[in-house]
A and B are shown apart, each in its own frame.
Chain A
Amino acid sequence: MTEASPLRALNRDVSLGLADDAVRGISPLALAIHRFLLWLRSPRPYLMIVGFTLFIGFWYLAVEVWKLPRFSEMPGPTEVVREWFSRNPTYGLSVFTPEYYLHIWVSTRRVAIAFFLATAIGVPLGLFLGWSERFKQYVFPVFELLRPVPPLAWVPLAIVMFKGSETPIIFLTFLASFYATALNTMLGVESIDVSYTRAASCLGATRWQVFRHVIVPGAMPFIFTGLQISVGVAWFSLVAGEMVSGQYGLGYVINTSYTMVRYPTIVIGMITLGIVGYVTSAAVRFVGDHLMQWRTRELALGGDR
């Protein structure tokens, strides 16, 4: 009918321009390597090194060279590093003592349990809060009233409610994570363009299918933002919990080192917290990138959306 139309030629061209094999065969690992190489070639790693050098240099000068008044009691970086990597640490904790790893393991385990509980409860709750107006009207006011209560305020009740020292700490760690996850998930559902749900119902999807194929994946970017915040605040409230009760864990290390005047060990505990916290956060981001390849590709390869 329209064989003469110039459109035919145009139609064929579309496939050529866009079906690039390099684009299609991209894996998360390849992307990670690609990003790392880009990062190495950018000025960022070198600026980062400069930043660290300045920070540690100031610490060194302030404590060990200038001996500034506020810093007189503080351990200097050489002292901390010597203690941290000592085979025979003065205060009993270094990378060569098994207790060091026991503390890391106990804290990580608590965070992991709390984080998974918070995710398992927070994500479904957030999805339903965003999906059902009625459900939100019942639950959200209570949620918003409890949310500003800081985890530390829950300490007495947590100890009364749960036996032992392990469960109260996990409960406290769980709380802040749970709020972050549930709230972000809800916002994620609410951020979904109504066109998507309408399109799905046009195409004959049932309400449940809309939930499964539109609401859940549509909220995914927000959910993972929430989970990254959630991991962060989990470490936050974990340390608070461990300082109050418990026998192991990095928060416990910091607190007991303070009372027993083992100052270098305090700093070892703090640096370790920073590193472990960063690693867990990166792991969540990695899982997110893996599950949301559509988004990773869109951002990496620049669709014009």
Chain B
Amino acid sequence: MSAQPATARSYSAVPAQPLRKGGVRIADVVKVYGTSEAGILAVDHCTFDVPPGEITVVVGPSGCGKTTLLNAIAGFHSISSGNIYLDDELLCGPRKLKAQPGPDRIVVFQNGALFPWKTNIENVTFGPIMQGLLSRAEAYEKARDMMADAGLRGIEHNYPGEMSSGVRRRVEIVRALMNDPKILLLDEPYRALDSLTKSVMHEALLEVFYKNRVTIFFITHDLEEAIFLGHRVVIMTTRPCRPKKILDIDIPHPRDYSVLTTKRFREFMDETAAAVHEEALKAFAAGEKER
């Protein structure tokens, strides 16, 4: 891990080195909802990199358009212009505005999307069985191993609805990892959790990351969460969303919750809090105007 100096970089600075597995390059992406004349500009000429094998956290006020960006990478939404690359391969661009969803980029949803009508292990094996990559027996064996590894032994044949929401999120992450994705896209996955569960989930996510080294693209509005988890934190402006500040967090990994009380962590918080607060105020003001 490179311990770069924690300086804010201009968002237009595009690193020259080629991308490795799971790197995403967002280049000059614009998204307008509705018609170009009477539309809402959700994403405004957005450019930044998600370095491969690292955790990139995007922070911004609610409704700023950061989920739009995630949906564009996942292939749920089209973009209006610009390009998005995954490992130098074009996901979407001017000729193909909407990417094809696929198991190389798996989303973990805000409210969780384990199928409640399938047992936990049926959920976890869903990807490889649907794609015909593994037989049922092989998939079940792999799933059992992976679930045991993640501390989820013994709940294979329970339904998600019987689990706590924290456990459900972890099952969902195992379901994603079963497909050996290049990048995990997490859309405020811990938003609905209480703060105690949240802190456990953060460390669980880091553990998963240290084990698998999968690239993670994480969206949140919680600055503390962002700095705790991220190698890189991208602070977004309020709508239309554009990177306001990009920070490389040089607190060494592996991290655990003791990081929160260190001086370095506080420095990052101080450095960014003003920027985030400013955007939150703008978002609030804009909300008032709309009413």
Contact = CB atoms under 8 A, between A and B. Distances in A.
Given A1-B254, A7-B204, A196-B115, A202 B101 contact: yes
Given A196-B115, A203-B130, A220-B117, A305 B153 contact: no
B162 A7 contact: no
A294 interface: yes
Given A14-B151, A304-B164, A294 B103 contact: no
A209 B130 contact: yes
A217 B118 CA distance: 9
Given A5-B203, A203-B126, A195 B111 contact: yes
B152 A298 contact: no
Contact of A19 (B154, B159, B170, B207): B154
Interface residues of A, number: 45
Contact of A5 (B109, B126, B161, B207): B207
Contact of A218 (B117, B126, B127, B254): B117
B50 interface: no
Interface string B52-95: 00000000000000000000001110000000000000000000
Interface in A164-199: 193, 195-196, 198-199
B161 A198 contact: no
B152 A203 contact: no
A303 interface: yes
Given A15-B152, A292-B117, A204 B179 contact: yes
A294 B123 CA distance: 13
Contacts of B152: 14-15
A24 interface: yes
A199 B105 CA distance: 11
Given A18-B167, A203-B179, A204-B127, A196 B113 contact: yes
Interface in A252-298: 292-295, 297-298
A2 interface: yes
Nearest to B203: A7
A193 B162 CA distance: 19
A80 interface: no
Interface in B256-275: 256
Interface in B182-233: 200, 203-204, 206-207, 210-211
A132 interface: no
A220 B206 CA distance: 37
A222 to B, nearest CB: 13
A294 B126 contact: no
Nearest to B116: A294
A292 B112 CA distance: 20
Contacts of B10: none
A2 B210 contact: yes
Interface string A121-145: 0000000000000000000000000
Interface in A197-212: 198-206, 209
A198 B74 contact: yes
Contacts of B154: 15-16, 18-19
A46 B116 CA distance: 36
A301 interface: yes
22 contacts: A1-B210, A5-B203, A6-B203, A6-B256, A7-B207, A14-B151, A18-B164, A198-B74, A198-B109, A198-B113, A200-B115, A202-B74, A202-B102, A203-B179, A213-B115, A213-B126, A217-B118, A294-B161, A295-B161, A297-B161, A303-B161, A303-B163
8 closest A-B pairs by CB: A11-B151, A19-B154, A298-B161, A303-B161, A203-B127, A199-B113, A195-B113, A217-B117
Interface of A: 1-2, 4-8, 10-12, 14-16, 18-19, 23-24, 193, 195-196, 198-206, 209, 213-214, 217-218, 220, 292-295, 297-298, 301, 303-305
